[in-house]
Structure 1
């Protein structure tokens, strides 16, 4: 996905459980996507956010 801060960076997150770190993605009942844990792009743009029900929630 593209970073929601607008920096145009591509964010790649592992969904493989044995990887560290890894994330869990799921589809909500309404068809929207959620992701856990939060995404924090510390070394680059500094964006820190959750994806909940298809919306970005900034930390």
Structure 2
């Protein structure tokens, strides 16, 4: 998990990395490349007042856990969890 101070915009996020956008100590976005291989950049809002919204926590080793699941609805349409830094695919 990499902390950045602003949204990456069109910057390509390396596969397997999660970028956490933190501004003024406030978590704003979690950004990653789709693990399904289609190349879509996924931006998850961490704002508690927006819907949909996600939460990102990390363990002692900085491995991220994201909840709830992520259902990417463009191109490859994959559905998955990120738990302790690993992708767990939802059964279809």
TM-score with structure 2 setting the length: 0.60
2:50 to 3, 16, 19: 19
Contact 2:58–2:64, Cα closer than 8 Å, also in 1? yes
Question: What is the total number of aligned residue pairs between the two structures?
Answer: 59
Give me the CA root mean square deviation.
1.1
Higher relative contact order (CA 8 A, sep 6+): 1
Query: Is there any run of 5+ residues in structure 2 with no aligned partner, and where?
Result: 1-31
**Deviations 1:10-40 (CA, angstroms, capped at 9, x unpaired):** 0000000001000000111232111000000
Return the offset for 1:42. 2.8
Where is the strand percentage greater, Structure 1 or Structure 2?
2
Name the larger-Rg structure: 2
Distance 1:18 1:12 in 2: 16
Query: Is there any run of 5+ residues in structure 1 with no aligned partner, and where?
Result: none
TM-score with structure 1 setting the length: 0.91
Q: Does 1:3 align with 2:29?
A: no
Contact 2:56–2:64, Cα closer than 8 Å, also in 1? yes
Contact 2:57–2:66, Cα closer than 8 Å, also in 1? yes
